[in-house]
Amino acid sequence: MIPRIALIAHDKKKDDMIALAGEYAAFLRQCTLTATGTTGGRLVTELGLPVERKHSGPFGGDLQIGALLVEGQIDAVIFLRDPMTPQPHEPDINALVRACDVHNVACATNVATAHLVLSQLQDAMTAALAARPGA
């Protein structure tokens, strides 16, 4: 099963997202990736990751990813939120995090948790590949 991961970062967290995704780039390249507009743009141009880009967060991107998640199409969300800066689309942000809780989808909102989630998913994929007949 190929993990379907959403990647989202607020402006002051985008450098952290690029550094994080860079560390896991070999793994993320094998995943199905969705991102909000600006985050996705940087993941594509700076890391060459295959990302399906939604609208930018303030224009509904969080809600688009939330809708995918509600439909069972997202396995994990890496959402590096900026806790120090008010966001105009705070209700959308809360809706996405709430949808993760409602549907029991892993949601990492800081780098430390993101490492735990990504390393776990990476290990699970490695184990699944090793268990294939003939591997």
Ligand X SMILES: O=C(CO)COP(=O)(O)O
> Is there a binding annotation on residue 38?
yes
Q: Which residue in the set 8, 21, 31, 43 belongs to the binding site for ligand X (CB under 6 A)?
A: 8
Active site residue 62: yes
Residues 19, 13 contacting (CB under 8 angstroms): no
Produce one character per residue of 99-132: b if its CB has 16 or more CB atoms within 10 Å, e if not.
bbeeeebbbbbeeeebeebbeebbeebeeeeeee
Q: Does 64 bind ligand X (CB under 6 A)?
A: no
Residues in the chain, how many?
135
Q: Does 60 bind ligand X (CB under 6 A)?
A: no
Q: Binding site membership for substrate: which residues?
A: 10, 14, 36-39, 56-57, 89
Positions that interact with ligand X (CB under 6 A): 8, 10, 36-39, 56-58, 61-62, 93
